[in-house]
Chain A
Amino acid sequence: MTTEPLIIDHEGFRSATRKGLIAAVFLGVLTAIEFFIATTIEEPLLPLLPFVALKGWIILDAFMHVRAVFSEGGH
């Protein structure tokens, strides 16, 4: 348990938040396009695959930091 007063890094928090929100906007836009395609095209499997892959990669990279797994510190 922490008993000492902690230093709050406001600038670091703001910068990381900005990155997360940009990723969120991309996810939102891709989800909307995905839904539009699915409800307008007869066989939407192939056209939708890139959107699913892109959304998955955004979550893995921006939120789960997959590229940092094997780097020192890892985050």
Chain B
Amino acid sequence: MILIKLTLVAAVAAAVLTATYGVTQEQLDKLAAEAGGPDKQLLEMGVVPDATKYKAVSGGEICYEAYDGGDLIGYGAMFEVQGMQDMLTLAVGVDPDFVVTGVVVVSQKETPGIGSKVQEQPEFVAQFAGVGPDGLTLSSDGGEIDAISGASVSSGYVTAGVAEIVGKMQEEVS
């Protein structure tokens, strides 16, 4: 009798959950369709400012070619890199010489109020524009990026992440 009751409760629970799953999955699919693929998201964030269209690099995993009409004007990529607490999602755009044109911190789970400044202070990521692959370290390490005061660790992770993504794009393009 006890077993029957347990099974009954479990069965009802599973049925209810499966029904909820159906509903929420539909919504998730809708959200995913609205957000579009990485190419559409890169376009919306404007990491390569003049790009009107992105096309996946053949054989590449993360890198997208950025086109202004018919001209190849750079590359863009969105990728998860290591942050201080958890993973950071960064979108990076570069010109054909791999000089950074734009960086967006798409999502982060750094310490709220401290590390989260990398996303909240647009001045920080704005520094990346115009920096070549060699300058992608913090100024304290001889690079061209000034860390946010009080959030130097997270700033370092973002900078290292951008360098990592630029490196990956160079690899995939060549």
Q: Do A and B bind each other?
A: no
B residues with a Cβ closer than 8 A to A are none
